[in-house]
């Protein structure tokens, strides 16, 4: 089954929630994972089932990166906050890097997230 990770920094969580609501039927076709708070907020706002990893600053990005390294993930939607530095910047860079190493689809803004979600559809 197609497996997709959903992640957003705090300033971008409302955008990701709206995206998930607008694409709920499509996302239901996928196995979904998320970092801790993102997953919690998404499940509160939708009927989607989401496997939650640790919160990003506590290692969640690395846990998702590990799945990318193991080629368990087909796509990653990661809405970063481009205007604020994050304390766990090294983890964020590592996740982006491993997506490139493993040639895993990665969307870091809403426009590309639309392509990713549609592109992974059967």
Where does this chain bind ligand 13P (CB under 6 A)? 7, 9, 35-38, 55-57, 60-61, 92
**46 in a labelled binding site:** no
Which residue is catalytic, options 10, 61, 81, 103? Answer: 61
Q: Are 6 and 38 in contact (CB under 8 A)?
A: yes
In 3D space, the residue among 74, 82, 121 whose CA is nearest the CA of residue 99 turns out to be 74
Min. distance of Cβ 95 from ligand 13P in angstroms? 7
**104 in a labelled binding site:** no
The question of whether 61 is a catalytic residue gets the answer: yes
Nearer to ligand 13P, 44 or 122 (CB): 44
Cα radius of gyration rounded to whole Å, the chain: 13
**2 in a labelled binding site:** no
> What is the C-alpha separation between 80 and 46, in angstroms, rounded?
21
Nearer to ligand 13P, 61 or 67 (CB): 61
**9 in a labelled binding site:** yes
**Strands of the 105-107 sheet, one edge to the other:** 50-52, 31-34, 3-8, 75-79, 105-107
Min. distance of Cβ 122 from ligand 13P in angstroms? 28
Residue 103 φ/ψ region, left for φ over 0, alpha for ψ in the -120 to 50 degree band, beta for the rest:
left
Active site residues per annotation: 61
Binding residues: 9, 13, 35-38, 55-56, 88
Binding residues for substrate: 9, 13, 35-38, 55-56, 88
């Amino acid at each position: 089954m197609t497996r997709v990770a959903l992640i957003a920094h705090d300033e971008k969580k409302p955008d990701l929630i709206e995206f998930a609501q607008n694409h709920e039927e499509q996302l239901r076709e996928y196995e979904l994972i998320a970092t801790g708070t993102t997953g919690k907020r998404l499940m509160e706002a939708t009927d989607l089932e989401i496997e939650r990893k640790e919160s990003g600053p506590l290692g969640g990005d690395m846990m998702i990166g590990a799945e990318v390294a193991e080629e368990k993930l087909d796509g990653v939607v990661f809405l970063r906050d481009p205007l604020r530095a994050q304390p766990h910047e090294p983890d964020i860079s590592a996740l982006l890097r491993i997506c490139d190493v493993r040639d895993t689809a990665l969307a870091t803004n809403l426009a590309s997230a639309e392509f990713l979600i549609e592109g992974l559809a059967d």
